Amino acid sequence: MIKFATGFCGPGGSTVAISTLINLFNDNGLDACLYGGGNPWNGIDCKFDTINNINLQPEDIFIYHYMAIQNRMNCKKQILSCHETVVFPIKNVSGINYDEVHFVSEAQKEFQDVGGTVIPNPIRSFTKADKTGKKVAGVIGSIDPNKRVEESIQRALNDGFTDIRIYGNLTDPNYFRARVLPLMSDNVTYRGVASNMDKVYSELTHVYHSPKLESFNLLQFECKEAGVEYVGNEGNDTKAEHWDNDKILEAWKKLLT
């Protein structure tokens, strides 16, 4: 069995990507489960259990994310799946133990500067809704200095949008109060954390995104899948590729053996 443990199962791109991957495994005959601590985000739609129930066996493939595991676990293979850059620099994690490392883009692998295999994230499917009505801009993602939410809002305002909707986890409340809250108005509204992104994308015509640094930029590929215009900036050059599910699955099968 494939047992995937994560140190973070709250709202965010890595959680979405991992949940989508677990579903891809299970839909193709690879028994897999995601394990996490605490109360999982309701946006997780894959097979899930608490990390206390992981119960590794010698025949299991153990994949872990955003955790500093220093022991060789009781498993067939131990893989570190890294979705981060500055918040989880592998070289700075003393004694971390793995057989293989998985990265989501070439730029991220270059940043981490350790050996590993690049397999892009799978992308969820979305319904392409009719976009002939009023133009509506979205700003999606964690609300913190790296995402530069205030820059996305200002760019959308400069482009004439009168309906700008912000979705994301308040990962830095001080930043939100200082840089984002002053821009709130009848035209710029915070909509909280969304778990039904199909509905969100169906109501948007454009998404503005202004990150300093991205590992994969899941948002850009989701917008393309949902038929929403993506308005990015220079921080989006991740050298990331979008593979179809068959290619992703075959690459993972090779890494798992």
Same domain for 185 and 99 = no
Same domain for 193 and 109 = no
Does 234 score more than 80 pLDDT?
no
Segment 193-228, tens digit of pLDDT: 998 999 999 999 999 999 998 889 999 999 999 999
Q: What is the CATH number of the domain that holds 70?
A: 3.40.50.2000
Q: Provide CB contacts within 8 A for 68, sequence distance 6+.
A: 93, 94, 96
| 40 assigned to some structural domain | yes
**Rounded distance between C-alpha atoms, residue 34 and residue 51, angstroms:** 8
Same domain for 148 and 113 = no
Q: Which helix (H) or strand (E) holds 4?
A: strand 2-6
How many beta carbons lie within 10 A of that of residue 102, not counting itself? 21
| 130 assigned to some structural domain | no
Same domain for 105 and 13 = yes
Same domain for 113 and 6 = yes
Instruction: Scan for tokens 């392409």, then name that residue.
Output: 128
Same domain for 64 and 18 = yes
Segment 66-103, tens digit of pLDDT: 999 999 999 999 999 999 999 999 999 989 999 999 99
Q: How many domains does the chain have?
A: 2
Same domain for 157 and 78 = no
| 174 assigned to some structural domain | yes
Q: Which two tokens stand for residue 168?
A: 């994301």
Mean pLDDT of 227-246: 84
CA angle 153, 159, 162 (to 5 degrees): 70
Record the pTM. Answer: 0.92
Segment 125-180, tens digit of pLDDT: 998 888 888 899 999 999 999 999 999 999 999 999 999 999 999 999 999 999 99
Q: Could you list the residue range(s) of the whole structural domain that residue 162 is in? A: 137-236
